[in-house]
């Protein structure tokens, strides 16, 4: 299974850089970013990538934005080979990239859980995790 990160600007490459710093390089994770070259070029890059790969989990920065909409349009006619989620964040990518999950629907569930549990509010107590980066 491939993971494709899509974002406005440099956030996808930034999150992948953070992932690589913590977990090392992962050849199954790629990114495409919407930049000043425009929506048409971005859309073509995404479509080309998805056409060339099977079993892709697309993770977008925000629902309703161009990266999400482009990948969702592709999903509508290729639901057998991709899933699309929004809310890209580093805890989500760390969990996915270091897991052995290779079934799209399982990856979606894992991403959702990791993305939500990655949000913690600093309070009087230490967070309940044993991860040290």
pLDDT digits (tens, 9 = 90+) for 54-104: 999 999 999 999 999 999 999 999 999 999 999 999 999 999 999 999 999
Kindly state whether residue 32 falls inside one of the protein's structural domains. Answer: yes
Kindly state whether residue 37 falls inside one of the protein's structural domains. Answer: yes
Per the structure, the count of domains in the chain is: 1
d(CA 93, CA 4): 10
Number of H helices, E strands in the chain: 5, 4
Kindly state whether residue 61 falls inside one of the protein's structural domains. Answer: yes
Kindly state whether residue 68 falls inside one of the protein's structural domains. Answer: yes
Write down the pLDDT at residue 130.
63
Q: Residue 54: which CATH number?
A: 3.40.50.510
Main-chain phi, psi angles of 83, to 5 degrees: -130, 150
* Residue ranges making up the domain that contains 83: 2-103
Kindly state whether residue 34 falls inside one of the protein's structural domains. Answer: yes
**How many other β-carbons are positioned within 10 Å of the β-carbon of residue 66?**
19
pLDDT digits (tens, 9 = 90+) for 11-70: 999 999 999 999 999 999 999 999 999 999 999 999 999 999 999 999 999 999 999 999
d(CA 97, CA 19): 8
pLDDT digits (tens, 9 = 90+) for 102-122: 999 999 999 999 999 988 888
Kindly state whether residue 110 falls inside one of the protein's structural domains. Answer: no
d(CA 86, CA 7): 10
pTM for the complete prediction? 0.90
Kindly state whether residue 27 falls inside one of the protein's structural domains. Answer: yes
């Amino acid at each position: 299974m491939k993971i494709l990160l899509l974002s406005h600007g440099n956030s996808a490459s930034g999150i992948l850089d953070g992932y690589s710093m913590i977990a090392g390089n992962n050849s199954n994770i790629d990114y495409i970013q919407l930049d000043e070259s425009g929506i048409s070029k971005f859309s073509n890059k995404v479509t080309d990538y998805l056409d060339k790969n099977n079993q892709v989990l697309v993770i977008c920065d925000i629902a309703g934005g161009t990266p999400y909409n482009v990948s969702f349009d592709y999903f509508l006619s290729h639901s057998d080979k991709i899933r699309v989620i929004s809310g890209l964040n580093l805890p989500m990518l760390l969990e996915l990239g270091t897991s052995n999950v290779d079934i799209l629907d399982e990856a979606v569930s894992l991403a959702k859980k990791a993305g939500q549990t990655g949000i913690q509010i600093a309070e009087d107590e230490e967070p309940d995790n044993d991860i040290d980066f």
